[in-house]
């Protein structure tokens, strides 16, 4: 068994959610895919030092509640934040 210690550390894990999620009633695989490019690339972002990644974690959690998703875990790299979600 792979220990979590052997995996590069996720930036965040919701252990309670992870332990209690039940996919028994999941039935629909096909996903809805939304991609929004606010600017063409990161260098086009207005020069005020704030970008989408400046938005705090709790705001993303609240936005995702509107979608009916919860954050299971999140990894942060130099250039992106990757959230793994419930559902």
Partner 1 sequence: SSLFVFDHKLTLKTCGTTTTLFCLEELFRVVKEHLDWNFCQKGKVNPYKVFYSRRCFMFPKKQQGIHQNWDDETQYLNKFFSNGKSYLVGRLGQANHWSLYVTETNRDLDGQDENFDGSEEDDDENDDDDDDETLEMLMTGLTPSRASQFVTTREPGQPVESDTDDEGHVLGAQVTEDTQLDRIYDNVEGVSFQQDAFAFTPCGYSANVVMDQEYYYTLHVTPEDGWSYASFESNVPVTKVSGGTQDNIAVMERVLQVFGPSDFCLTFFSRRSHNDNFAKLKKLTDRVSNYTRKDKIVYQLDDYHLLYLRFERN
Which residues, numbered 34-53, are part of the site for partner 1 (CB under 8 A)?
34-46, 48, 50-53
| Residue 9: CB minimum distance to partner 1, A | 9
Sequence-distant (≥ 6) Cβ neighbours of residue 8 within 8 angstroms: 75
Rg of the chain on CA atoms, in Å: 16
Residue 19 makes contact with partner 1 by CB under 8 A = yes
Residues 54-83 that bind partner 1 (CB under 8 A): 54-55, 59-60, 62-64, 66-69, 72-75, 77-83
| Residue 29: CB minimum distance to partner 1, A | 3
Sequence-distant (≥ 6) Cβ neighbours of residue 82 within 8 angstroms: 74, 75, 76
């Amino acid at each position: 068994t792979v220990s979590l210690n052997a995996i590069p550390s996720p930036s965040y894990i919701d252990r309670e959610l992870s332990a209690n999620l039940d996919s028994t009633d999941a039935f629909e695989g096909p996903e809805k895919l939304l991609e929004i490019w606010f600017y063409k690339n990161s260098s086009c972002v207005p020069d005020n030092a704030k970008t989408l990644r400046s938005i705090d974690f709790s705001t993303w959690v609240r936005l995702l509640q509107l979608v009916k998703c919860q954050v299971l875990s999140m990894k942060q790299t130099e250039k992106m934040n990757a959230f793994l979600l419930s559902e």
